[in-house]
Amino acid sequence: MRIEDDNAAAPARVLVVGASAAGLSTVEALRRKGYRGEITVLGDELHAPYDRPPLSKQVLSGAWEPARAALRTQEMLAALEAELVLGDPAVALDPATRTVHTGSGRELRADAIVIATGVRPRTLPGQDGLAGVHVLRTLDDALALRTSLLGCARLVVVGEGVLGAEIAATARTLGPAVTIAGPLPAPLALQVGPLVSGLLAELHRERGVVLRLGAGVEGLTAEDGRVAGVRLGTGEVLPADVVVVAIGASPATQWLEGSGLRLDNGVVCDSRCRAAPGIYAVGDVARWHHEQLGRLIRLENRTNVTEQAGAVAAVILGADQPYVPVPYFWTDQFDVKIQVHGLIPAGAEVDVVEGDLAARRFVARYRSDGVVTGVLGWNMPKQSRLRRAEIALSAPAGH
């Protein structure tokens, strides 16, 4: 699929929907590349753009004041000369006239529209309105969770992915007994494979986290409108005063239903991150055609946001280049910093190429069909970054 823009000249007006990392990075990239036209940024949150990775780490632990998560100072935002419209959600898009309608009744027209609305946390049935149950996506979520954890004896985290494991690690430093529940055998089993997820399981156990993994979660139990436990598929109930549900997120595309854009686990885009002529998507919400991998991908990680914003800004200004990044994410749990470059497909062969497992400082290399697809550093950030060059992204044979 390749979508052609109908207007090769730089657009006079750009509208960015979503005032967070992806939206802000796009504006900054446009200005850096010399764009002098009008820019409006529309966001539904009231806060000025802030960063999310610290929310499960420094903000949740209390090491940072919430204000430190702000992405830019007021002066830096003002210097961008972009109109920031906050606290007003986009509710509809008409791609033909490039008009966005907002909850408060605004009608914003532009020559180019950038969709940067991110994702929303998934929830469990019966979770809404139940006291003591949290998700973690926004600054307000992080502050509410921190307040709950400070007075809590038993926390159950539902979800053994990156976010669930980070929350569990941070929560342990705040006092409560912490249990992680989820269907996979070890934390991050899907993201890092059996070797490293086994080490993460050891790490969490050593630091006092109880792992109740390998059993699905059926739902929550409640008493007097407050959560009382987490019911596993086995019928067992894990008692809890506070529950965090970290079972993944869905692209925030509801407002685009009926727009005619292709929505399928994100805003589907061509290799230039273009969803329709003059309409682009960037960040967690974007599912674009990665030319080297030969398929659509969507990434939910911080580094992609900045890189993709730069690529989209270039395309808006007339460049014709595909976006073909080597995916990258990091996670911090207790005193361990993990970096993952590239991809770790299920069943990939792994060998340790630097450091050693026993010392808990190593670089692991992952291969599929003899080709290096990913590199993981465990407390070895620099060494893992240097080996990134070994990664060869390609479409599977026969593709």
Residues lying near ligand FAD in the complex (CB under 6 A) are found at 17-23, 42-45, 52-53, 55-56, 89-90, 116-119, 136-137, 163, 252, 255, 283-284, 300-303, 305, 329-331
Other Cβ atoms closer than 10 A to 271 = 20
Cβ neighbours for 348, distance < 8 A, ≥ 6 positions apart: 193, 366, 367, 368, 373, 374
Tell me the closest approach of the beta carbon of residue 318 to ligand FAD, in angstroms. 24
Q: Sign (positive/negative) of CA torsion 177, 183, 185, 189? A: negative
Tell me the closest approach of the beta carbon of residue 19 to ligand FAD, in angstroms. 6
Of residues 168 and 232, the one with the C-beta less far from ligand FAD: 168
Other Cβ atoms closer than 10 A to 129 = 8
H/E stretch holding 331 reads strand 328-333
Of residues 53 and 198, the one with the C-beta less far from ligand FAD: 53
Of residues 18 and 176, the one with the C-beta less far from ligand FAD: 18
Place of tokens 């309608």: 101
Sequence length of the chain is 399
- Own/partner long-range contacts of 170-174 (Cβ < 8 Å, ≥24 apart): 170/56, 170/57, 170/60, 170/61, 171/60, 171/244, 172/207, 172/208, 172/209, 172/334, 173/61, 174/60, 174/61, 174/62, 174/146, 174/149, 174/150
Of residues 114 and 232, the one with the C-beta less far from ligand FAD: 114
Give the span between the Cα atoms of 242 and 69, in whole angstroms: 25
Of residues 232 and 375, the one with the C-beta less far from ligand FAD: 375
Tell me the closest approach of the beta carbon of residue 308 to ligand FAD, in angstroms. 9
Of residues 20 and 271, the one with the C-beta less far from ligand FAD: 20
Tell me the closest approach of the beta carbon of residue 376 to ligand FAD, in angstroms. 14
Spatial contact of 30 and 56, defined as CB atoms under 8 Å apart: no
Nearest C-alpha neighbor of 284 from the set 260, 306, 257: 306
Tell me the closest approach of the beta carbon of residue 192 to ligand FAD, in angstroms. 13
Nearest C-alpha neighbor of 131 from the set 24, 227, 260, 233: 227
Place of tokens 């699929």: 1
Per the DSSP assignment, residues forming a β-bridge with 92 are 101
Tell me the closest approach of the beta carbon of residue 303 to ligand FAD, in angstroms. 6
Tell me the closest approach of the beta carbon of residue 67 to ligand FAD, in angstroms. 17
Tell me the closest approach of the beta carbon of residue 330 to ligand FAD, in angstroms. 5
Tell me the closest approach of the beta carbon of residue 392 to ligand FAD, in angstroms. 22
Of residues 52 and 289, the one with the C-beta less far from ligand FAD: 52
Nearest C-alpha neighbor of 61 from the set 166, 134, 132, 161: 166
Of residues 18 and 377, the one with the C-beta less far from ligand FAD: 18
Of residues 137 and 287, the one with the C-beta less far from ligand FAD: 137
